[in-house]
Amino acid sequence: MTNGTVLVTGGSRGIGAAIATRLAQDGYGVVVNYATDAEGATAVVREISQAGGRAAAVRADVADAGQVAAMFEKAGAFGEPLVALVNNAASVGQEAPMQDQQADALNRVVQTNVVGPALCAKHAIRAMSRKRGGVGGSIVNVASVAGQTGGLPNLVPYSATKGAVIAMTKGLAGEVAADGIRVNSVSPGVIDTEMSNRPAARQLAESSPMGRMGHPAEVAAAVSFLVSDAASFVTGTDLPVSGGR
């Protein structure tokens, strides 16, 4: 299987780990990015390798321009062209009413959730652009239905950044279509991860049309489709994976 290399940010656990595992099953070499959870990233790489796939873990804080640049230099570990970037790394930020939000916490959530995906997209475009000698490819941004609905109480900055990710997806899709690059996003609803371990999240999931939380693998399946050639005429689209919410 030599389908090229994909880079998944925040791939050490939760939705990111499910995406990395699914794309490895699809035949891609997967670069599993992490910022602090080396043990989790190593476990994901081990699982992929034991199943016969190709994976490598690379540490980088996506909010740091220098670390992002170094990460993309290391992404050629498999000797295959980069064909996809999945911008999954995110911070939920400070859980507090807006009037109690600290400036440093606000800055951090914006840097991680908005600037980070933009920095990664910058390098992915340079690597994949057909105008620059690349083979084209796909960028999939993991947004959230919170970016459209406002999300849970006390997490307004997080919701705002996810709205920005959806807007960036639509704008960037038009900008790089001629480079042979498609840009889409998925917007998960309440997914069964650590981030959803809140009473308000469980109540929101139970009130959705499907009456349950989603599973990380269900988000990964949507990402798999958007990365694949099956979505060759799909760009600038946000795909909700939210149980009907």
For residue 127, give the nearest of 208, 68, 197, 168 by alpha carbon.
68
Spot the catalytic one: 28, 34, 72, 158: 158
Q: Compute the residue count for the chain.
A: 245
How far apart CA 219 and CA 192 sit, in angstroms, is 11
Q: Which two tokens stand for residue 116?
A: 């980070």
Do 24 and 3 meet the contact criterion of CB atoms below 8 Å apart?
no
For residue 63, give the nearest of 87, 32, 98 by alpha carbon.
87
CB environment 67-82: b (16+ within 10 A), e (fewer): bbeebbeebeebebbb
Do 171 and 141 meet the contact criterion of CB atoms below 8 Å apart?
no
Do 140 and 85 meet the contact criterion of CB atoms below 8 Å apart?
yes
Residue 158 annotated as catalytic: yes
How far apart CA 122 and CA 120 sit, in angstroms, is 5
CB environment 177-192: b (16+ within 10 A), e (fewer): eebebbbbbbbbbbbb
What SS3 state is found at 34?
strand
Q: Which residues are catalytic?
A: 158
